[in-house]
Amino acid sequence: MKRLFSILAITCLMAIGTVNVNATTFASTTATVTTITQDDADASGEDLSFHQELKKRFIEGGPGFMGIVLLCLILGLAIAIERIIFLNLSTTNSKKLTQNVEDALASGGIEAAKEVCRNTKGPVASIFYQGLDRADEDIDAAEKAVVAYGGVQMGQLEKNVSWISLFIALAPMLGFMGTVIGMIQAFDKIEAAGDMQPSLVAGGIKVALLTTVFGLIVAIILQIFYNYIIAKIDSIVNDMEDASITLMDLLVRHKK
């Protein structure tokens, strides 16, 4: 958890610094980007690369809402990467673990099986250990311990996942808000000019819509990571449930 907070703190500082830099240099950069890109296009006769086009559009969208949307992407990716690493480390070969526990029960009893679980990482091994730790009492006590600790392990697997879903919902909403505010500013310019100039309207609408585009892009990227994480959690939970049933069968056979 401390590593997660460190990652989030670093990414927040980087994103805030980026937003501040963009805010201070936006006026000069916007004026020069068009000239530089036009000169490059005229000189080379080729289209802008994807990276250059993305940077140009980001600057045109404005540092305010675009920076906030970027912050949602950075925080969401930080949490998603942390969860993916944690879930991959939590994945256990349950069949191999079950076989090792069964062999240990046959050769050395409960203590030998507990030692196998202590030397194995992952929630399945932790659940096995809790069940084996209550095996000396009765099967019902072991089953209750497995069920209770399984709920604890599920909470650990799903930790911070709700934040990713929050950023998925927040990014397009911020994009829509930036679009609405940009449209209002465009109409304010029309009202101040007293004339319906197509270039004035088109430019304002284009800048306003860029925030929506970037908000949707962020939501799509985070949604892919979110679905992968949910699928991984479901796979581990199913593995935990199957392993718990197998453990109860092993304990019943060991008691006889």
pLDDT grade, residue 23 (50/70/90)? very low
**What are the pLDDT digits (tens) for 81-111?**
999 999 998 888 888 888 888 888 888 788 8
Q: Which two tokens stand for residue 218?
A: 């962020």
Predicted local distance difference test score (pLDDT) of residue 116: 87
* Winning range, highest mean pLDDT, from 6-15, 146-155, 227-236: 227-236
Q: By mean pLDDT, which of 5-19, 159-173, 217-231 is the weakest?
A: 5-19
What is this structure's pTM?
0.72
**What are the pLDDT digits (tens) for 179-195?**
787 777 777 777 777 76
In this structure, are residues 48 and 56 in contact, taking their beta carbons and an 8 Å threshold?
A: yes
Q: Is the pLDDT of residue 123 over 70?
A: yes
Q: Is the pLDDT of residue 9 over 60?
A: no
Predicted local distance difference test score (pLDDT) of residue 200: 66
Predicted local distance difference test score (pLDDT) of residue 169: 93
In this structure, are residues 229 and 80 in contact, taking their beta carbons and an 8 Å threshold?
A: yes
Q: Is the pLDDT of residue 32 over 50?
A: no
pLDDT above 70 as % of the chain: 72
